[in-house]
Amino acid sequence: TETRYIMAFESSADETSVAIIKNGDEIVSLETATQIKSHQRFGGIVPEVASRHHIEQVTILADAALEDAQLTYSDLTAIGVTQGPGLVGALLIGVTAAKTIAWAHQLPLVPVLHLAGHISAANFVAPIQYPALALMVSGGHTELVLMREEYDYVVIGDTRDDAAGESYDKVGRTMGLKYPAGKTLDNMAHRGKPNYKLPRALIDDGAYDFSFSGLKSAVINLMHNADQRGETVNHDDLAVSFQEAVVDVLVSKTSQALDHYQVKSFIVAGGVAANRGLRDALTEMMAQRSNIAFIPVPIKLAGDNAAMIGAAVDIAYRHGKRGDWTLNANPALEF
């Protein structure tokens, strides 16, 4: 069989990233430019700033990805890109770059969903056995996704308000931490004691949807009330109390879904999949389920990157997905 080389573009938020992936599961090159520093002073991503950085970086990174791989465009099988969801202006840079390169080099163009990309990072760890379940936890999404077979995605649970990562970022902002606050809070949690009592929304409702805005508000109110009374809050203790509430809900819902659906693999993916508290709790929960392969995506590939997009593009390419020259970014794209 022929070797496939996919060049993939990711530009949905604050990382510009280009990768070349061999046969869907090998990273030949991966070039990423992060813009976090440019957004930090605003406390979150500024869409216009993001778009400008993507434009500056995208062709530089594409050239670097080819050079690092020691390949030319004639070696490539297809060009793939994140079509959505994300910031429309940011997505447009990746989509336009991918379309232009695909057109100029007469290569197939393959659009994919950003979330399918996150889940496909599991392919770099082990081949996914189907049916599979994925817990997709990022700054914009918190979903349980059932894959009865390859390239078949069914959302069985979703957040009704904030995403898990978003709640980390908002709690962190209230504590005066830099954006994005997930990793910092994760580190603080490992120094603290879970002394604060916080809500676990929807934990026993028998369904798979999530809600994190009540928890976020509870943390913010707790800090505000302490401030009014002139009391001090131990931020490390609050961080671990908050983290345990998030992790309890994520693990409980996942465990209920695994009880209900007979799957062969379970994947945890997305930026929040880098969380040590979550990884430890899921590892413990999965220890009792030795018949299911547990595949946490590598910590380095949990956050946004083009390697995961390349893995998803390889799957979509094999299933015949193609974009034409009218392909447009779709900020609200869903499974």
Token pair of 81, please? 């890109």
What's the rounded Cα separation, in Å, for the pair 183 and 286? 23
What's the rounded Cα separation, in Å, for the pair 217 and 210? 15
Q: Are 274 and 299 in contact (CB under 8 A)?
A: yes
Query: Could you tell me the CA-to-CA distances from 335 to 15, 85, 233 in Å, in that order?
Result: 22, 10, 41
| Shortest distance in whole angstroms from residue 76 CB to ligand KG4 | 26
| Closest to ligand KG4 by CB, 62 or 181 | 181
Helix, strand or coil, per DSSP, at residue 6: strand
On whether 147 is known to bind a ligand per the annotation, the reply is no
Show contacts with Zn ion in window 277-316 (CB under 5 A): 304
What's the rounded Cα separation, in Å, for the pair 246 and 248? 6
Please calculate the CA angle 137-139-145 and round it to the nearest 5 degrees: 30
Show contacts with ligand KG4 in window 174-233 (CB under 6 A): 180-183, 186
Q: Which residues contact 229 (CB under 8 A, 6 or more apart)?
A: none
User: Does position 274 bind ligand KG4 by CB under 6 A?
Assistant: yes
Window 147-166: contact mask with ligand KG4 (x via CB under 6 A) = ------------------x-
| Shortest distance in whole angstroms from residue 165 CB to ligand KG4 | 3
What's the rounded Cα separation, in Å, for the pair 225 and 239? 17
Interacting partner of 310 out of Zn ion, ligand KG4, none (Cβ under 5 to 8 A depending on kind): none
The DSSP 8-state label assigned to residue 122 in this structure reads: G
| Shortest distance in whole angstroms from residue 140 CB to ligand KG4 | 4
- Return the range that interacts with Zn ion (CB under 5 A); candidates 132-140, 151-159, 213-221, 291-299: 132-140
Q: Give the strand pairing for 5-10 and 78-84.
A: parallel
User: Does position 304 bind ligand KG4 by CB under 6 A?
Assistant: yes
Token pair of 269, please? 């993916």
Q: Are 128 and 178 in contact (CB under 8 A)?
A: no
The DSSP 8-state label assigned to residue 310 in this structure reads: H
Residue from 138, 142, 243, 305 in contact with Zn ion (CB under 5 A): 138
| Closest to ligand KG4 by CB, 13 or 327 | 13
Interacting partner of 181 out of ligand KG4, Zn ion, none (Cβ under 5 to 8 A depending on kind): ligand KG4
| Closest to ligand KG4 by CB, 89 or 139 | 139
On whether 39 is known to bind a ligand per the annotation, the reply is no
| Closest to ligand KG4 by CB, 141 or 321 | 141
User: Does position 303 bind ligand KG4 by CB under 6 A?
Assistant: yes
10 Å CB burial of residue 203 (0-12, 13-18, 19+) is middle
| Shortest distance in whole angstroms from residue 138 CB to Zn ion | 4
Backbone φ, ψ for residue 220 (5° rounding): -65, -45
User: Does position 301 bind ligand KG4 by CB under 6 A?
Assistant: no
| Closest to ligand KG4 by CB, 218 or 272 | 272
What's the rounded Cα separation, in Å, for the pair 45 and 238? 25
* Greatest extent of the chain over all pairs of C-alpha atoms, in Å: 70
On whether 176 is known to bind a ligand per the annotation, the reply is no
Window 234-273: contact mask with ligand KG4 (x via CB under 6 A) = ------------------------------------xxx-
Residue 230 gets the label, from left (phi > 0), alpha (psi -120 to 50) or beta, of left
Binding region = 114, 118, 136-140, 169, 182, 186, 275, 304
Binding region for substrate = 136-140, 169, 182, 186, 275
Q: Which residues bind Zn ion (CB under 5 A)?
A: 138, 304
Binding region for Fe cation = 114, 118, 304
Q: Which residues bind ligand KG4 (CB under 6 A)?
A: 13, 138-140, 165, 168-169, 180-183, 186, 270-272, 274-275, 303-304
